[in-house]
Structure 1
């Protein structure tokens, strides 16, 4: 799967999303796949409490005869509609994770069927497995989660970190992976992190609800980092 520079650019307008675009997106890994028809089942927009920094679109696809039978008819398109909702580095990191790392990891995460990032525009698209088919639950940002769910999340993070702890690959094929102090989102947050967070909290009520129980201002929380 191509992480960047593939030539595939997902449109900002869902009305322009076509079977041809999806066929091109899938073609690098699934060259015999031809999408004949698509149906937009549902779209979750950034800031609605479910989708946070990207938009998610549920797609039902019909493939031409002879297309790979491994491809599911329902896929989730994670992309940006209208304008970017976050710095491009955030999207690039996610695309490269799914394009270059996901397949080798035995963790609970959606399978990626296509992953594309356009460095010129910052636009991206991920075609992902629909985890609801495996009865996964997707709570909103303000729904409580159980202690068991938190433990499961931490266990998966530990598995991921253990796999690559002190790996020499960070000097090779994984040199692009950012660290807490360099690369990726570090430069963005180092320069304007507090301003970005203040803007997000002011714009989206559900983020205000997340901060309120802490009993501190954003400036106070930022100083604790």
Structure 2
């Protein structure tokens, strides 16, 4: 990597891209895409010699103070594409360039343009066939580095410790209050009760099962998945800012609990968990039994309300966002009650 990090669209010149990609780029046209809440993103159209002719450029937020605040988030995504993606089997956009400053506030990512793939719709939910495709792809993240001790040496990755769990518990209550007050009638009374039960067991939940750890996307949901336009299999996962080490079933429970209606989840979750488990074993996690997988899935369902509550309470509020987070909480809280998650979390002990 000889080209410098760039942080704005006007720096994405033909000369810079030629140096970065090792190909002759004659001209470039940049078009802004996305909402720009975490950073800025541009679709680049290139003319010159060779492929690709389009790609996406992800850059930091415009505001310097926002960049400093999000440095950890930026490091996570650059680390994934630069160090980890090649070691796992999950489908992700190809990365052409990834670099970040020592402070973490400035970064540049050049990624494969996945169009005409279609982004999932978190509010609408997904079909069972899409869910099957998504959990099989998810196993490609978890399986290849299942309980890999080398992950513990990766800068920025660590399994939750007591201090982390205590901080989570301290923050979760106020966030839940903000969430419930802010969404009002969008949150049913029974779901409010379940949300507060989650707060009560959050610290134990965060510390449980450290013996089973792996790479966890952290926000593996429909809005962060791109589906083939023909309706067939081949989903791709994007947005790796929340990568961590934790119980892998958190991703599985989060996805199924927030993506399917309660009726479809109840009818198909056993089969979908078994499908994920088979894929997981095909990637090398042979010492992990199906019953353990099911138990972890039931236990991990708190990931749904946890992410939704914090995302809504401390993110930028929009009408669609409010309805989306309300739907995620309604679906995942129903799963928590169905599966006995609160009892499982309350009785959990750290190994």
Band the TM-score falls in, shorter-chain normalisation: 0.5 to 0.7
1:205 to 319, 330, 333: 319
Pairing of 1:79-158 with structure 2 (within 5 A): 79-83=59-63, 84=66, 87-120=70-103, 122-132=105-115, 135-158=116-139
Pairing of 1:206-221 with structure 2 (within 5 A): 206-213=320-327, 214=329
Q: Report the CA distance between 1:95 and its aligned residue.
A: 0.8
Q: Is the 2:39–2:60 contact (alpha carbons within 8 Å) kept by the matching residues of 1?
A: yes
Q: Is the 1:102–1:111 contact (alpha carbons within 8 Å) kept by the matching residues of 2?
A: no
1:59 to 44, 64, 67: 44
CA-based RMSD of the aligned residues comes to 3.6
Q: String of CA shifts for 1:163-220, please: whole Å, max 9, x gaps.
A: 1112242255xx22523416xx9999678674864131x53332211122336xxxxx
Query: Which structure 2 segments of 5+ residues have no match?
Result: 179-309, 331-341, 346-351
Q: Report the CA distance between 1:131 and its aligned residue.
A: 1.4
Q: Is the 2:7–2:107 contact (alpha carbons within 8 Å) kept by the matching residues of 1?
A: no
1:120–1:41 Cα change, 3 Å: same
Q: Report the CA distance between 1:114 and its aligned residue.
A: 0.5
Q: String of CA shifts for 1:97-156, please: whole Å, max 9, x gaps.
A: 111222343332111000111233512221111112xx4211355343222222222222
**SS of the residue 1:114 aligns to:** strand
1:190–1:15 Cα change, 3 Å: farther
Output the CA distance in 2 between the equivalents of 1:159 and 1:121. 28
Q: Is the 1:118–1:124 contact (alpha carbons within 8 Å) kept by the matching residues of 2?
A: yes
Q: Is the 1:141–1:206 contact (alpha carbons within 8 Å) kept by the matching residues of 2?
A: no
Output the CA distance in 1 between the equivalents of 2:128 and 2:4. 41
Q: Report the CA distance between 1:61 and its aligned residue.
A: 1.1
Q: Which residue matches 1:176?
A: 155
Question: Is 2:61 the partner of 1:78?
Answer: no
Output the CA distance in 2 between the equivalents of 1:162 and 1:37. 42
**SS of the residue 1:9 aligns to:** coil
1:8 to 4, 7, 17: 4
**SS of the residue 1:39 aligns to:** strand
Q: String of CA shifts for 1:25-77, please: whole Å, max 9, x gaps.
A: x2xxx4x3243310124422235xxxxx34321111123x5xxx3x4010111
Specify which structure has the higher proportion of helix. Answer: 2
Point out the structure with max Rg over C-alpha: 2
**SS of the residue 1:120 aligns to:** coil
Q: Is the 2:28–2:47 contact (alpha carbons within 8 Å) kept by the matching residues of 1?
A: yes
